[in-house]
Amino acid sequence: MENIERENIQGMLLYGYKWLPVARYLFLSITDVDKARSWIKQVDWRYATSSPRDQCMNIAFTAQGLKALGVPVDEENGFSRAFIEGMDTEHRNRILGDFGANASTDWEWGNKQHDQLHLVLMVFTRDQAALDNWDAVQSATLAGAGLETCSDPIDSIRLPDGKEHFGFKDGISQPVIRGLGRQSSEDNYVNAGEFILGYENDYGKEPHSPRIQKGEMDFGKNGSYMVFRQLEQHVPLFWNTVCDHFGGKNEGREKGIELAAKMVGRWLNGNPLTEAPDKKIKSGDMNRFSFFLDDPNGTQCPLGSHIRRSNPRDSLSSNSKSSSLRSATDAANKHRILRRGRPYGKPVDEGMAIDQILDKIDGDQESRGLNFICFNTDIDRQFEFVQQTWSNNIKFHNLYNDVDPIMGVQNGGRDEAGHYQMAPTQFEVQASPVRKRYQDVPPFVKVRGGSYFFLPGRQALEYLSKSPD
């Protein structure tokens, strides 16, 4: 087993700082390279060996940001094509679903016009007062550090019980890195090299990783590629849509909640539909279940539901032999991502009780959603694959014309101006004797911004704090 150098890996990658519930993401541009370098040098960056009690900072760079600091970000030096080119390209818009309402031209940050985005500074604090305190001290420091805000910072919060804004418990299924000592079921372990550069990945190879200075300097070691997408969630639209199929949110409340659960693949409390279809909370591991053995036809957890698409586990197995289940799980595990996102915006109901949410959505105009952040070492094979081959793929799991009902986007072809449009999507709920289809499912999630970043390890961060000569 390889020794994982926690002391050289930025803390949020391994821990996510769950005990620091308030976060701020600052999008910065480097205006003075020398000052920025000395700022990087003097900040007390937190690595995964300490558990800061009050606050801490992590940092990640865009390709432009690294270039500004003199790093040769190109393929010869081993940077990934996705990172070099960025999230906003004609082809990536097509596969990620960034057109129509998600069009990158309308993004508030991160699109290709926004090329002054050099880095994101991520601040995690114990509470709001600690963040205000940090702000009072640090904003002056940043101005003197050759850094300039290039778009509004985004704050994040934690909702009660680890819920997201629609009201479902989130973040339940996470891969567990082999060798870090955390316990999990055997099929949920993934090698460190899937998320941290410089270690063996699940193919038993070190992932391609940037090396600079003619290969002398291992720039990638203990770093990772970070995907950041700000996803606005239309909570009133979501609940009104599902309840309206059954006569509105009063009369059709219970059935509406059931349809919403079918879309997600879990009940509100996080229980998977394969395990507890009768809503009774069953104690035990919410992650330990088999799609193929428990529900091969999707009559409990629909084949096109959000959790089945986000991590199909053994669902795509060709038969029930254990070797086939194993190889389906192994193949699905080649596309895991380490999620470190947090909600933003005021929840509909502070307590996140579903009845309260449904009672309060009328006339609600609040902006809220998820700051989706994930880590991976191969953006093509991990994040983009999940988005394209699972979420947005109308043929996922032998279906004909479904996308992920929560966040999927279907391509409706080009309009007269040549821009791709979203097509109306459908959601099929498998059932006996025959399926039921819901047509014209509107998009409940809208992309407000996004970018690919590189989260440097200690060695790279130290390199960035010095002048290259």
Partner 1 sequence: MKLSPNPYNLIVPIKPGEKDALMAKLEIMQDDLYDNPLLPFRQIKSIHFARFVILHEAGDFPDQLVFSTNYDGMLDSHLKEILNCPEADIDQVLGHCKGYPDGSEGDKIRWLKDNAKLRAYFYRGTWGMSREHIISTERLRKIAEAKIDELTGQELSAQELRNAIAETVKKDSEFRTYPEYKVPNFNLWEILKLLVIAVVILVLLPFFLIVLLAHEIADDKREYDKKYSDNDRTREFVSREDKIVQNQLTHLVDIKPGWFRLMTLKFVLNGIAYLAKYWFNKGKLGSIPTIHYARWIIIDKGKRLLFFSNFDGSWESYLGDFVDKAAVGLTGVWSNTVEFPKTRGLVFRGARDEQRFKSWTRSKQHITHVWFSAYPDLTVTNIANNKALHEGLTHDLSQKEIEEWLLRY
| Count of residues interacting with partner 1 (CB under 8 A) | 42
Verify binding: residue 205, partner 1, rule CB under 8 A.
yes
- Residue 33: CB atoms within 10 A of its CB come to 12
Q: How far apart are CA 348 and CA 358, in angstroms?
A: 9
Verify binding: residue 320, partner 1, rule CB under 8 A.
no
Applying CB under 8 A, which part among 125-133, 151-159, 203-211, 229-237 lies near partner 1?
203-211
Classify strands 147-156 and 445-455 as parallel, antiparallel or unpaired.
unpaired
Read off the tokens for 459. Answer: 């060695």
The verdict on whether omega for the bond into residue 433 sits within 30 degrees of 0, i.e. cis, is: yes
Applying CB under 8 A, which part among 107-115, 199-207, 251-259, 447-455 lies near partner 1?
199-207
Read off the tokens for 423. Answer: 């097509």
Verify binding: residue 417, partner 1, rule CB under 8 A.
no
Strands (E), 384-444: 411-414, 420-422, 425-429, 436-441
Task: Output 5-9 pairs: Cβ under 8 A, ≥24 positions apart.
Answer: 5/222, 5/457, 6/47, 6/48, 6/49, 7/47, 7/48, 7/49, 7/458, 8/47, 8/221, 8/222, 8/457, 8/458, 8/459, 9/47, 9/48, 9/196, 9/222, 9/457, 9/458
Q: Which of 112, 334, 360, 458 binds partner 1 (CB under 8 A)?
A: 334
Write the single-letter amino acid at 352.
M
Instruction: State which residue, 31 or 324, has the beta carbon closest to partner 1.
Output: 324
Verify binding: residue 416, partner 1, rule CB under 8 A.
no
Verify binding: residue 255, partner 1, rule CB under 8 A.
no
Shortest Å distance, C-beta 392 to partner 1: 10
Q: In whole angstroms, how far apart are CA 210 and each of 75, 77, 371?
A: 8, 5, 27
Q: Which of 42, 37, 77 is nearest to 61 (CA)?
A: 37
* Ranges within 280-319 binding partner 1 (CB under 8 A): 297, 299, 318
Instruction: State which residue, 160 or 247, has the beta carbon closest to partner 1.
Output: 247
Contact 47, 8 (CB under 8 A): yes
SS3 303: coil
Q: Which of 53, 81, 182, 288 binds partner 1 (CB under 8 A)?
A: 81
Contacts of 461 (CB under 8 A, 6+ apart): 10, 40, 45, 59
Q: How far apart are CA 311 and CA 332, in angstroms?
A: 7
Instruction: State which residue, 146 or 193, has the beta carbon closest to partner 1.
Output: 193
Contact 209, 340 (CB under 8 A): no
Verify binding: residue 327, partner 1, rule CB under 8 A.
yes
Shortest Å distance, C-beta 395 to partner 1: 5
Verify binding: residue 214, partner 1, rule CB under 8 A.
no
Q: Which of 53, 346, 436, 466 binds partner 1 (CB under 8 A)?
A: 436
Q: Which of 34, 91, 183, 278 binds partner 1 (CB under 8 A)?
A: 91
Question: Which single residue is written with the structure tokens 């009369």?
Answer: 251
Applying CB under 8 A, which part among 144-152, 181-189, 257-265, 377-385 lies near partner 1?
377-385
**Which H or E element spans position 123?**
strand 119-125
Shortest Å distance, C-beta 344 to partner 1: 30
- Residue 73: CB atoms within 10 A of its CB come to 22
Instruction: State which residue, 80 or 271, has the beta carbon closest to partner 1.
Output: 80
Shortest Å distance, C-beta 272 to partner 1: 21
Verify binding: residue 434, partner 1, rule CB under 8 A.
yes
Applying CB under 8 A, which part among 44-52, 200-208, 235-243, 262-270 lies near partner 1?
200-208
Q: Which of 2, 182, 203, 350 binds partner 1 (CB under 8 A)?
A: 203
Instruction: State which residue, 94 or 126, has the beta carbon closest to partner 1.
Output: 94
Shortest Å distance, C-beta 231 to partner 1: 22
Instruction: State which residue, 215 or 351, has the beta carbon closest to partner 1.
Output: 215
Q: How far apart are CA 434 and CA 156, in angstroms?
A: 43
Shortest Å distance, C-beta 306 to partner 1: 19
Verify binding: residue 78, partner 1, rule CB under 8 A.
yes
Shortest Å distance, C-beta 445 to partner 1: 21
Give CA torsion, residues 163, 165, 168, 173, to 10 deg: -60
Contact 256, 243 (CB under 8 A): yes
> Interface residues with partner 1 (CB under 8 A)?
75, 78, 80-81, 84-85, 90-91, 94-95, 203, 205, 207-208, 297, 299, 318, 324, 327, 330-331, 334, 378, 380-381, 384-385, 388-389, 393-395, 398, 400, 430, 432-437, 439
